[in-house]
């Protein structure tokens, strides 16, 4: 019998939904990805890696799992990106009604659209912080406005956005991109103040959507559309520490892990990234 994976491989007393402060929702959807397929295997790979992680976080000197981390059954709606978004919205809405902190595991980036909609119901004035190689600002793509390439165009309709680590766009997206709210990877590398500049653009409540291709492919080769010249792990962690100090992080998704059978390091990176963000959020002394 295959045991159901729970994030962190935790003992029963820490995975009970009722007592959990944190809820992990896997969405293994890969319906609209355009190049390398396999993002549907992402959630399982993150959960598997997470069971092999040390649960003590050195930087915050804490064990965030003791706050309770429940892992829900995956959302399996596959009929269309629109139907999947509706199903995700319903689940996240329920998690927010229960006053718990949602962590969504993709799947490709289109899984975030339903999440944004659920947050818009609960937060009148929130910001969406995107970490990504791609601006994802197309109005529609391949016949759907719920395609992964349109995620941030949808986000912009619901919240103020800031885009970080971007290094790939198409010219048709330019009219949707606000030059004051996009922080290109090449500019970040030359700036000493970029983290504060991003923070200035964000409201108090911040939802974070992380497309793992924001990282340089040297660290994160397991994505559908890897782009050179990305951020490293420490840059991302230090940036999110600053965001956590200055803002209220209200939720998180980590998407586009396209796992490799041989190289498991990227799966561990994704898993630990989530754990470190949760440690900052819940255990920052
Ligand atoms: Mn991307």
3-state secondary structure 133-195: CECCCCCCECCECCCHHHHHHHHHCCCEEEEEEECECCHHHHHHCCHHHEEEHHHHCCCCCHH
More confident position, 208 or 32: 208
CA distance 229 to 215: 8
Residues near 192 by beta carbon (within 8 Å), at least 6 away in sequence: none
Give the distance (Å) from ligand 1 centre to CA of residue 6: 26
| Tokens, residue 114 | 């339903």
Span from the CA of 1 to the centroid of ligand 1 (angstroms): 36
Structure confidence at residue 284 (pLDDT)? 78
Percentage of the chain lying above the pLDDT 90 cut = 91
Q: What's residue 142's pLDDT?
A: 87
Residue 223, pLDDT above cutoff 80 = yes
**266 C-alpha vs ligand 1 centroid, how far in Å?**
15
Distance 153 CA to ligand 1 centre (A): 13
Residue with tokens 């974070």: 208
Residues contacting 23, CB < 8 A, separation 6+: 17, 69, 70, 71, 72, 95, 98, 100, 101, 102, 103
How far is it, in rounded angstroms, from Cα 122 to Cα 211? Answer: 23
The answer to whether residues 87 and 218 touch, using CB atoms and an 8 Å cutoff, is no
| CA–CA gap between residue 55 and residue 5 (Å, rounded) | 16
How wide is the angle at C-alpha 272 spanned by C-alphas 39 and 168, nearest 5°? 50
Say how many Å lie between the CA of residue 262 and the centre of ligand 1: 23
Quote the ligand 1 centre to 57 CA distance (angstroms): 28
The tally of CA atoms less than 13 A away on the side-chain side of residue 121 is 14
User: Inter-axis angle of helices 233-246 and 265-283, to 10 degrees?
Assistant: 20
19-66 pLDDT per residue, tens: 999 999 999 999 876 666 799 999 999 999 999 999 999 999 999 999
- Distance (angstroms) between ligand 1 centre and the Cα of 282 equals 28
pLDDT of 1: 42
Residues with Cβ within 5 Å of ion ligand 1? 132-134, 211, 213
Distance (Å) from CA 283 to ligand 1 centroid: 30
Residue 2 has pLDDT above 70, yes or no: no
Separation of 155 CA from ligand 1 center, angstroms? Answer: 14
* Band of residue 78 on the pLDDT scale cut at 50, 70, 90: confident
Q: Determine the pLDDT at residue 177.
A: 96
Q: What is the pLDDT of residues 112-124, one digit of tens each?
A: 999 999 999 999 9
What's the Rg (C-alpha) of the chain?
A: 17
| pLDDT of the residue at 31 | 85
Token pair 């002394």: residue: 285
pLDDT, mean of residues 204-224: 97
Residue 210: pLDDT above 60?
yes
Could you tell me the two tokens for 274?
């989530």
Q: Is the pLDDT assigned to residue 156 strictly greater than 90? A: yes
> For the chain, first and last CA: distance in Å?
41
Residue 111 predicted with pLDDT over 80: yes
Tell me the average pLDDT of the chain. 95
**C-alpha to C-alpha distance for 266 and 157, rounded to whole angstroms:** 32
| Residue 16 pLDDT greater than 90, yes or no | yes
| Mean pLDDT value of segment 81-104 | 97
Cα 141 to middle of ligand 1, angstroms: 14
């Amino acid at each position: 019998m295959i045991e159901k994976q729970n994030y962190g491989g935790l003992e029963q007393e820490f995975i009970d939904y009722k007592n959990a402060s944190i809820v992990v929702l896997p969405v293994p959807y890969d319906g609209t990805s355009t190049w390398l397929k396999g993002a549907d295997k992402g959630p399982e790979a993150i959960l598997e890696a997470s069971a092999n992680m040390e649960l003590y976080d050195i930087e915050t000197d804490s064990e965030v799992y003791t706050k309770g981390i429940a892992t829900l059954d995956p959302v399996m709606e596959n009929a269309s990106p629109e139907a999947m978004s509706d199903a995700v919205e319903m689940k996240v809405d329920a998690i927010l009604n229960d006053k718990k902190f949602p962590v969504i595991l993709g799947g490709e980036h289109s899984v975030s659209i339903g999440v944004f909609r659920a947050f818009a119901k609960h937060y009148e004035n929130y910001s969406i912080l995107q970490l990504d190689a791609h601006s994802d600002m197309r109005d529609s793509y391949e016949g759907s406005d719920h395609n992964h390439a349109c995620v941030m165009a949808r986000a912009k309709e619901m919240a103020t956005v800031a885009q970080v680590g971007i290094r790939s766009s198409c010219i048709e997206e330019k009219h949707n991109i606000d030059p004051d709210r996009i922080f290109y990877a090449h500019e970040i590398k030359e700036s000493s103040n970029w983290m504060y500049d991003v923070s200035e653009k964000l409201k108090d409540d911040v939802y974070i959507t992380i497309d793992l291709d924001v990282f340089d492919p040297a660290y994160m080769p397991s994505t559908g559309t890897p782009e050179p010249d990305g951020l490293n792990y420490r840059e991302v962690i230090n940036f999110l520490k600053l965001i956590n100090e200055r803002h209220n992080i209200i939720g998180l998704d980590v998407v586009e892990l396209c796992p490799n059978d041989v190289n498991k390091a990227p799966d561990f990176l994704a898993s630990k990234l989530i754990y470190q963000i949760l440690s900052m959020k819940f255990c920052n002394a």
